[in-house]
């Protein structure tokens, strides 16, 4: 296990976690600009200070598919489920008709 080389995903995850856990410093240009405009760490954004305190969470995409692919997959799964439900209801109706015709 010690000699095992880490996969690319594991290495990327470790790098991402170390960078995201470190606070921003004055070296960061965006953070330096915020401080020049009067921002203090832990303070809410906005003129009156009613804005967000925490940064927008990072949504990491690990797959190789496109940006809207997950929504399309979800929509297709819902359509397939609806089609399956319609098929089952049609089969039940056909069975009921067959039973009525037999009677």
The string of pLDDT tens digits covering residues 63-85 is 778 878 888 889 999 999 999 99
pLDDT value at residue 81: 96
Q: What is the pTM of this model?
A: 0.42
Residue 35: exposure state from Cβ atoms within 10 A (0-12, 13-18, ≥19): middle
**Residue range 17-61, pLDDT digits in tens:** 898 888 887 888 988 898 888 888 888 887 787 888 887 887 777
**pLDDT value of position 16:** 87
The gap from C-alpha 31 to its chain's centroid, in whole angstroms, comes to 26
């Amino acid at each position: 296990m010690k000699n095992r080389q880490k996969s690319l995903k594991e290495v990327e995850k470790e790098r991402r976690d170390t960078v995201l856990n470190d606070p921003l410093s004055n070296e960061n240009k965006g953070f330096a600009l915020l401080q020049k405009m009067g921002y203090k760490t832990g303070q809410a954004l906005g003129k009156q200070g009613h804005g967000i305190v925490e940064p927008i969470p990072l949504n990491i995409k690990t797959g190789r598919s496109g940006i809207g692919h997950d929504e399309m997959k979800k929509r297709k799964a819902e359509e397939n489920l609806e089609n399956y439900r319609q098929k089952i209801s049609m089969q039940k109706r056909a069975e009921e008709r067959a039973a009525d015709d037999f009677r």
